[in-house]
Structure 1
Amino acid sequence: MDHIPTFLEASAVKQLTSHTYSGNLSKSYCIGAVPNGGYVAAVMLRAAATHMTTTHARITPPQKHAISFHGMFMIKTNAGAVEVKVADSKIGRGYSVLHIELLQEGMKCVNAYVTMTNIDNESGPTLNTFWEKPDPGLVGRKQLDKLLTPEGVEGWYEHPKPFADFREVSKRTRFFSAKKPTPGVVSNWGTFTNQSDSITNEAIALIADLFVGVVEQMDSDGGDDPKQQFQSAKFWYPTLSFTLDVKKSLPKDGVKWVFSKVHSQQVKNGRWDLQVVMLDEDGELLATSTQVALMVDASRNTKPRGKRDVPATKL
Structure 2
Amino acid sequence: MAEPCHSSIFEKAIAVMPIDANTYSAHLDPSWCIATVPHGGYTASILYRTAATHFAQKAAAGKNRPGRSQEPIGLQISFQRRTFAGPAIMTVQEIKLGARLSTIHVTLSQTKDESAAATKARDRDDELEVKVLAYITLSLPDIEESSSPVKGTWDLSPPSPPGSLRGGLINFNALAADGIDGDWKSGPVAPRALHAAKHLKLYSPSATLFPKTVEERATQVVDQWARLVPGGTAARWSNEAVVYLTDLSLAALDRLGAMERTATGTGEDTAKVTTGTGLVQFWYPTVSMNIDLKTRLPLQGVEWLHSRVVTRMLRGSRADLEVLILDQNGELVATSTQVALVVDPARNHKGRESSGKL
Preserved CA contact (<8 Å) 1:159 1:213: no
TM-score (norm. length: structure 1): 0.86
How far apart are residue 96 of structure 1 and its match? 0.7
Residue 121 (str. 1) matches residue 143 (str. 2): yes
**Matched residue, 2:220:** 184
Aligned with 1:94 (options 90, 95, 100): 100
Distance apart, 1:60 and its partner CA: 4.9
CA deviations 1:119-147 (Å, max 9, x no partner) are: 431477954421224655469x9932322
Is 1:6 aligned to 2:28, yes or no?
no
Q: CA deviation at 1:65?
A: 2.6
TM-score (norm 2): 0.76
> In the alignment, which residue of structure 2 is the partner of 1:149?
177
**Which residue of the other structure, out of 46, 49, 65, is the alignment partner of 1:46?**
49
Q: Which residue of 1 aligns with 2:115?
A: none
In the alignment, the residues of structure 1 paired with residue 284 and residue 187 of structure 2 have an alpha-carbon distance, to the nearest angstrom, of: 19
**Which residue is equivalent to 1:130?**
153
Say whether the 8 Å CA contact 2:227–2:234 is kept in structure 1: no
- For residue 46 of structure 1, report the CA deviation from its aligned partner: 0.5
Count of aligned pairs between the two proteins: 301
Three-state SS of the structure 2 residue aligned to 1:296 is coil
* Aligned match for 1:201, one of 236, 239, 242: 239
Select the residue among 28, 34, 38 that pairs with 2:37: 34
**Whole-Å separation in 2 of the counterparts to 1:189 and 1:124:** 27
Moved more, 275-284 or 152-161: 152-161
CA distance in 1, matches of 2:278, 2:179: 33
Q: Which structure carries more helix by proportion?
A: 2
Counterpart Cα distance in 1 of 2:175 and 2:295: 25
Per the alignment, residue 158 of structure 1 pairs with: 186
Distance in structure 2 (CA, Å) of the matches to 1:60 and 1:191: 35
Q: Distance in 1 between matches of 2:237 and 2:177?
A: 20
Paired amino acid for 1:213: A
Aligned counterparts of 1:212 and 1:30: Cα–Cα separation in 2:
14
* Cα gap change, 1:34 to 1:155, in 2 (>3 Å): same
| Deviation of the 1:196 alpha carbon | 4.0
- The answer to whether structure 1 residue 271 and structure 2 residue 309 are counterparts is no
Q: Is the 8 A contact 1:200 1:254 kept in 2?
A: yes
Q: Which moved more, 1:93-102 or 1:165-174?
A: 165-174
Residue ranges of structure 1 left out of the alignment (5+ in a row): 308-315
1:225 matched to which residue of 2? 271
Q: What whole-Å deviation, never above 9, does each CA across 1:183-209 have from its counterpart, x for those lacking one?
A: 432111111223443211011111111
Q: Quick check: 95-104 or 144-153, which moved more?
A: 144-153
Q: Is the CA contact 1:16–1:22 (under 8 Å) kept in the aligned structure 2?
A: yes
- Give per-residue Cα distances to partners, 1:71-103, cap 9 Å, x unaligned: 000011111111111111111110110100001
1:26: how far off? 0.8
Quote the residue 1:236 is aligned against. 283
Q: What's the offset of the Cα at 1:154?
A: 3.2
Give the gaps of 5 or more residues in structure 2.
Answer: 1-6, 112-127, 209-215, 263-267
Per-residue deviation, residues 226-264 of structure 1 (Å, max 9, x unmatched): 79x995422101111011001110111322211110110
Letter in 2 for 1:190: A
Amino acid at match of 1:115: T
> How far apart, in 1, do the equivalents of 2:181 and 2:319 lie?
33
Higher strand proportion (structure 1 or 2): 1
**Aligned residue in 1 for 2:303:** 256
Deviations 1:93-119 (A, max 9, x none): 101101000011111000000000124
Secondary structure of the residue that 2:185 maps to in structure 1? strand
Could you say which residue in structure 2 is the equivalent of 1:280? 327
Question: CA 1:209–1:124 in structure 2 vs 1: closer, same or farther (change >3 Å)?
Answer: closer
- How far apart, in 2, do the equivalents of 1:151 and 1:190 lie? 12
SS of 2:43's partner is helix
Pairing 1:51-130 to 2, within 5 Å after superposition: 51-57=54-60, 58-105=64-111, 106-122=128-144, 127-130=150-153
**What CA RMSD, in Å, does the superposition of the two structures yield over aligned residues?**
2.8
Could you list the structure 1 runs, at least 4 aligned residues long, displaced by more than 6 angstroms after superposition: none
Pick the structure with greater CA Rg: 2
* Residue 276 (structure 1) shift: 0.3
